[in-house]
Amino acid sequence: MAEKIRILLTEEEVNKKIQEIGEQISKEYAGKQVHLVCVLKGGSFFMCELAKRITVPVSLDFMSVSSYGSETKSSGIVKIVKDLDEPLKDKDVIVVEDIVDSGRTLSYLLEMLRKRGPRSLALCTLLDKPERRVVDVHVDYTGFQIPDEFVVGYGLDYDQRYRNLPYIGVVELD
Ligand code: IMP
Ligand code: MG
């Protein structure tokens, strides 16, 4: 099936927003080291760009969970595919995500990470679809709230494609 991509947020808009979030985090974590936890694969593009704009010391770790197959709807099933390499004990952790949709993935993940004893635990997401929320999740840093449309780019995929787009686009099926 052919699909078209309509630009929702340009590269300039996304970059500007990431710069703002980077500055905000740098201010709020002054005197501390932030430990960024990237949720693969979607969060990786956002995390790298964000990390470059944070001026306090940064360490990084990665984990992979699965909640989506190649469908465009959440299955509600969350599985840890790859766990973090390092403990979170006494670290100031920020979980970096591409998008909060139903909230199922994040609420499961945050509860699990909290049990590992971080000094603080915050959530930063590039995109948020509040209309789609099924499970309540507290988001500390949000890039953009977007309408209920399936988006790709900046790490987000449609059947594993389009992650490399430097902007956020809406998939239009014809
Ligand atoms: P949640 O558990 O429903 O919040 O799902 C979160 C995950 O679903 C995200 O990390 C994405 O991987 C995926 N997802 C949700 N909405 C979209 C979308 O519009 N485009 C691509 N992936 C999405
Ligand atoms: Mg994700």
Tokens of 140: 């500390």
Ligand 1 centroid, distance to 90 Cα (angstroms):
29
Residue 34's DSSP bridge partners are 58, 92
pLDDT score at 139: 96
Ligand 1 residue neighbourhood (C-beta within 6 Å): 42, 67-68, 74, 97-106, 150-152, 156
pLDDT score at 65: 87
Residues in the chain where the model's pLDDT stays below 50:
70-72
Task: Write the pLDDT tens digit of every residue in 59-97.
Answer: 999 999 876 554 445 555 678 899 999 999 999 999 999
Ligand 1 centroid, distance to 148 Cα (angstroms):
11
pLDDT score at 66: 79
pLDDT score at 70: 47
Residue positions annotated with a catalytic role? 101
Question: Residues with Cβ within 5 Å of ion ligand 2?
Answer: 39, 42, 98
CA proximity to 141, closest of 104, 93, 89: 93
